[in-house]
Amino acid sequence: MTQEKTNLELNAVTTVNDSVIEINELYKSFGKNEVLKGVNLTVNKGENLVILGKSGSGKSITIKCIVGLMDIDKGEIKVFGSDITKLDSVELNKIRVRIGFLFQNAALYDSMSVRDNLGFTLKRHAKDLSAEEVENQIKEILESVGLSEAIDKMPSELSGGMRKRIGLARTLILKPEIILYDEPTTGLDTITSREISELVLEIQKKYKTSSIIITHDMPCAKHTSDRIVILKEGVIHVEGTYEELEKSDDEWVRSFFI
């Protein structure tokens, strides 16, 4: 199933002003190594924003700062209008529940089965659900990522693509409004990468999510993006649609699309 967007659809999405994430002048360094040097970024509601950049350019650090996994040096990160850098842990957790995060290697809990991986998060945030309701929700989410049969498997029994899907299912179980994907197709073969990219689009349509997708995989970027930004030397170097950036005058920008 291919779900390529038409230019008309792309324009419709990018003209929405209702931003869910707004990053202003974000600085982050590790010792003397300044990684982010004033990143400004906005993610609009319902939009898939792809961040490109060379390895070590700070793409993953940016999304880790958005969920408060890393403290920032300077700047402002507004998620749903709240500056998460100024929130206490209770308030931050209320925001985190509304954000899903797919880690590069899925980060499934090794000691738990697929059922428990999904149920672990759900039971803690939906305490009024009965055991039967929890089970039904787990099955429903697994069905939506096409892995109903994996419910009793352990993470060690899953392939790379399956792990990514289960990771995505675990992310979706709390019905997040924003999903942050950290290299969702890295380490996967072409066909599985394509399947994951399609799943990202399906999720956007079905759950009306806004997303940031970090990737080096250009077919994935082309397939999933409404808008692309490229990070260079700690700042956003350029911004536009896939088609616009592909025809950029900047040779360095074009080099990503070869």
Partner 1 sequence: MSTTLTAKKENIISYLKETFYDVGKVTLFALRFFKEVIKPPYEMKEFIKQCYVIGYKSLPLVTITGFIMGLVLTLQSRPTLAKFGAESWLPSMVALSLIREIAPVITALICAGKVSSGIGAELGSMKVTEQIDAMEVSAINPYKYLVVTRILATTLMIPLLVIYADGIGIIGGYIGINIHSDVNFYRYLAQVLESITFLDIFPATMKTFFFGFFIGMIGCYKGFNAANGTESVGKAANSAVVTASLTIFIIDMLAVQITDLFF
The residues of the shown chain that bind partner 1, judged by CB under 8 A, are 64, 67, 69, 93-94, 96-97, 99, 101, 103-105, 107-110, 120-121, 124-125, 170, 174
Residue among 94 and 206 whose Cβ is closer to partner 1? 94
Break the chain down into helix, strand, coil percent, rounded to 5: 40, 25, 35
| Cβ distance to partner 1 smaller for residue 16 or 69 | 69
| Sequence letter at residue 199 | L
As measured in angstroms, the least distance from the Cβ of 160 to partner 1 is: 14
CB of 116 to partner 1, least distance (A): 11
Cα–Cα distance measured from residue 222 to residue 201, given in angstroms and rounded to the nearest whole number = 11
Continuous H helices in the chain: 7-14, 59-66, 89-96, 114-125, 131-144, 160-172, 190-207, 218-224, 242-246, 251-254
Cα torsion 69, 73, 79, 82: sign = positive
Give the Cα separation of 102 and 170 in Å (integer).
Answer: 9
CB of 161 to partner 1, least distance (A): 17
CA distance 49 to 229: 7
Q: How far is the CB of 30 from partner 1 (least distance, A)?
A: 12
Cβ-based nearer residue to partner 1, 14 or 121:
121
Distance CA 78, CA 8 (A): 29
To partner 1, the closest distance from the beta carbon of 64 in angstroms equals: 8
